[in-house]
Structure 1
Amino acid sequence: MSAALLAALTATTPAAAAPPHWTIAPSAGGGSRPAAQDGRPYIYAEGAPGSVLEDKVAVTNPSAEPLTVAVRGAGAPDVRTKAKGPGAWLTFATRSVKIPARTRAEIPFTVTVPAGATPGDHPGAIVASGGGRTSGISVHLRVSGPTLSALTVEHVRVEGGDRIAYEVVNRGNTTLTPRLAVRADGLFGGVLDKGPRTLPVELPPGRRVRLTEPWHGAPALDAVDVKVTVTAGGGAGDSATATARFVPWGPLGGALAVLAGGAFAAYASVRRRRRKGPGPGTGNPRSAP
């Protein structure tokens, strides 16, 4: 689950009094990976389609009052198969637990991987609510089987003359952390060259994200071809291009106005002369009698 979604889930609900500072974390004794010295930062589970995986979370109540906490699974649907996401694959031993003061309670749960689950990464979360606040833990679930790393870059365009917008789509079945490179060539050579750098985004399978890259010092007058290249682990990569024209309409508009004004004045002068007709002493002379 993305950091933004997890942050939204863990937002504190306004209350008249400060909520108890309870915490939820992966249990040190559970999971399919050994716990680090400072505990596990998230739940990791891996299994084949049809398997049932076991783990548990620990809720700690350090306050002087009992606390009731409810837990549930969360996660986006699998956009590749239109099936319910891993949030629906979680089953808890109890959906609500009452924790005495200054006590920690562990809640076992299972992850039942559907028989038809697509191999690859399936992000989700465990969300706990109680005492006027909500908190959550990321669940990193990987279904065994062939994996594919693939992505595409789409809808590249220059916006406002100072930024490059584009979209990245994860077309594979593994979570990707993309790297970006941008190059732009004008009529007289290169005008922008940004080497590869890691983007601050984690892209789950099937997810699309719209991003922008600032362009400081863009040309004032030029026709430019912009190329956006995005790569990721597993050999994933794609490029897309767009054409942009930079025209200084302010100064150019003033110059065109001056030229247009001069042309109009000359045209008006010619029209006036034609209306007055030939002056004295002009025209064909007559023969004397």
Structure 2
Amino acid sequence: MRKPYVPLLSLLSCLSFLLFLTSAAPARAADNGSWSVYPVSSAVAARPYFYVFADPGRTIQDKVVVANKTDGPLTFRLYAADAYNTARDGGFAVKSPGEKMRGVGAWAVLPKDRVTVPGRATVTVPFTVRVPRGAEPGDHPGAIVALDERVDKGGAGVALGVQRAVGARVYLQVGGPALPGLAVEDVQVVHHQPLVPGLGDSTATISYTLHNTGNVTLAPKVELKASGLFGRTLLTRDLKKLPSQLLPGQRVRLTERWTGAPQFDRAHVRLTATAKGTEESAKASFLAVPWLPVALVVAGTATGVWLLMGRRRTRTEGARGTARPAPTDPYQEVGRAAGG
């Protein structure tokens, strides 16, 4: 019996929407080779994304273009979605249609939820963004998404299918105080070293969470510093594997590999994260000890102590065996002294 194909919208988010970052098509349209989605050009120039500023209670109108690059017609589900950072690497992704929306996905209204685009043609669709009066100030990123609801079959022996989608980013900023905030959380260090010092490499894997605690999108930078005993500097490094945009409220778990970590030291690791208007640090420590030599020393010391205690016990027992017993009758001892 053949297994059913299951659409994977989460996989879609991780793959298709990363095109937002890499596309080189006109107007930097989000593009997967078969279709693209992008803002309608302004009177001045093509726009890479939707940049919208609105105070609470305002209504904004705009238009999105869906371009079909294939020879035949394509039908898409058109919807607005909230954006988030992927947990794996902090990439820009958007929610699937069935998920709860709180920002752009809830406030953007499209005149229809499906659109058919003829082959080698484009369709322009107007939409409206109604910002609630009680909307929180700050950034509310999202996208207008064109989803092909057909399920592409997986390869041979794979029982999963994939739905593809492309979306144009919407950077919506609601008027009010801008409050940047960044936290470094849950710093952990896992240390690996050879059993015998010098016979292999010593490495440390540093994991930590970057958390945008404010209401604006951040471009974080992180500096890693490690020090040893007596304050010696062991490592100073600017980390590269960071999200280019850390969205408000989002957390991303990241790791950094340290090759050449100490093999005999007490190391202190400090991570300092900075972004415009905010800075935060956190630290962790680990003990680098060559456990095999230490275990041999401990075992040898324990054996020496055990042998030494055994010798002392033997001497004590021997001394007790040759000692003259004390008299049990004091009158007998006195009599002997008088008679002598």
Residue aligning to 2:309: 267
What is the root-mean-square deviation in Å for CA atoms of aligned residues? Answer: 3.1
Pairing of 1:190-229 with structure 2 (within 5 A): 190-197=232-239, 199-201=241-243, 202-229=245-272
Quote how far apart the aligned CAs of 1:230 are: 0.8
Q: What are the equivalent positions in structure 2 for 1:14-93 lying under 5 Å apart?
A: 22-29=34-41, 34-36=44-46, 40-75=47-82, 84-93=102-111
Which residues of structure 1 form unaligned runs of 5+? 12-19
Over 3 Å counting, the alpha-carbon distance change for 1:53 and 1:34 in structure 2 is farther
User: For the residues of structure 2 that align with 1:75 and 1:83, how far apart are their CA atoms?
Assistant: 6
In 1, are the aligned partners of 2:191 and 2:288 still within 8 Å (CA)? no
TM-score, normalisation: structure 1: 0.78
Contact 2:187 2:282 in 1 (8 A): yes
- Larger Rg: 1 or 2? 2
- Which stretches in structure 2 are left out of the alignment for 5+ residues? 1-10, 19-31, 85-99, 152-163, 193-203, 326-340
Aligned partners of 2:39 and 2:168 also within 8 Å: no
Which residue of structure 2 aligns with residue 111 of structure 1?
129
Aligned to 1:253, the other structure's residue is in SS state helix
Give, in angstroms, the shift of residue 252 of structure 1.
Answer: 0.4
| 1:138 equivalenced with 2:181 (yes/no) | no
Report SS of the residue matched to 1:84: coil
Q: CA deviation at 1:45?
A: 1.6
Tell me the CA shift for residue 283 of structure 1: 4.6
Tell me the distance in 2 between the aligned counterparts of 1:21 and 1:155: 40
Q: Is the 8 A contact 1:9 1:135 kept in 2?
A: yes
Cα deviation for residue 5 of structure 1 reads: 8.0
- Aligned-residue identity in percent: 40
* Compared CA separation, residues 64 and 228, structure 1 to 2 (3 A): closer
Judge conservation of contact 1:177–1:232 (CA < 8 Å) in 2: yes
In structure 2, relative to structure 1, the CA distance for the partners of 1:35 and 1:272 (3 Å cut) is farther
The answer to which structure has the higher helix fraction is 2
> What is the CA distance between 1:9 and its match in structure 2?
5.5
Q: Which residue of 2 aligns with 1:167?
A: 209
> 1:6 and 1:35, CA in 2 relative to 1: closer, same or farther beyond 3 A?
farther
Task: Give the 3-state SS of the residue equivalent to 2:303 in structure 1.
Answer: helix
CA contact (8 A) 1:230 1:237 kept: yes
Q: Give the equivalent residue in structure 2 for 1:176.
A: 218
Cα 1:199–1:231 shift into 2, 3 Å: farther
Q: Which moved more, 1:134-143 or 1:82-91?
A: 82-91
Alignment deviations for residues 4-49 of structure 1 (CA, whole Å, 9 cap, x no partner): 98434559xxxxxxxx95312213325xx9544xxx3332222111
- CA displacement at 1:274 relative to structure 2: 5.4
How many residues of Structure 1 are paired with residues of Structure 2 in the alignment?
264
Q: Could you state the TM-score of these two structures normalised by the residue count of structure 2?
A: 0.68
Match of 1:98 in 2: 116
